[in-house]
Structure 1
Amino acid sequence: MTTANTASAVITNNSSRTFVSIGLSHKYSDVYSSQASWENLAPGQTTSPALAVEYNTGFGTTGEDWWFLLAVDSQGNVWNTDPSNARWLWDKTDWGIAHFGDIIATALEVAGPETLGAGDIAGGLVDVLTAATNDTSVEGYKEFLLRDEDAGGTVTITLTDDTIQFSAPSGTADTPLALAQAAPKPATA
């Protein structure tokens, strides 16, 4: 018998970076998908509110949980999960992903990182996550399976300077936090 479950997901920033925008996408095969973004996540902080994630358990279920994180730090660097297979995100979508870094770079050149609003970046980030979640591919996503004991619980995704750790009542998993695109160098006169 299949049981539909829901858990909560939060991101804790244990890195030395402040993220002006950070987003999370979760999908349970092609059955459920959800995404959220948060602004201004400083070191030591945890996102709020939590993202509700749905998944199935029980006899005969074949679905798997897949996770993708995308973040922009206060310097304009773009970070993501799974560097070995996330390159498709930057090449796949004409309007968004391929130009997202260019949009951020131009905005940073014009306004500077101290004046560019996190909401400006968050809007683009949500579009990117939505496009990625709607795709049936899980290339670039980290697999971290949720179990019966995770229902009603919290998945904590902890960022350090170079790793992402997924932790739930049923277990843990790690993946690299990779620099997907470096911030542009300031123009010299």
Structure 2
Amino acid sequence: MKIQPTNIADVLLIIPKVFEDERGFFYESYNHREFTQLTGLSPRFVQDNHSRSLRRTLRGLHYQIQQPQGKLVRVIAGKIFDVAVDLRQYSSTFGQWTGCVLSSENRHQLWIPIGFAHGFLVLSESAEVLYKTTDYYAPQYERCLFWNDRDLAIDWSIDEHPILSKKDKQGMLFKDADLFT
């Protein structure tokens, strides 16, 4: 496994070592000991989530203000543009975002620590996304930012309006959001 920093140092792109031959492929999607050795982090994952979404679906930007979740995100079918927004007021990258393409072909993963909003846009016909979380889902603490907030200026690189859930259509502006102190 290789760890590649993003433009926000705490958000890490994880590139697994993949073994391929005429039969197919094999890789360790997560190895706690190696992850800890390479990152200095030792997350305790308590929940795995799995979603399937159609092209142009945009999920996010979600976070939990209490019981915050670190997330390890990967794609097992299709391709997404995955985004993390720094909501930590004490951070030098507060209010900035980073994004990368995760796909079943590149097998990359994104580590998103506590203190970030997370969202993704489906680029393929459909995509299945798996992610581990460091705390349990707590809907009473969930918050959502508008995907197209001008203050965040996320470059989703889409020409059409995305498909959004009712919850995501009712997101809040970054300037009004509950933040991490």
Q: Normalised by the size of structure 1, how large is the TM-score?
A: 0.31
Larger helix fraction of residues: 1
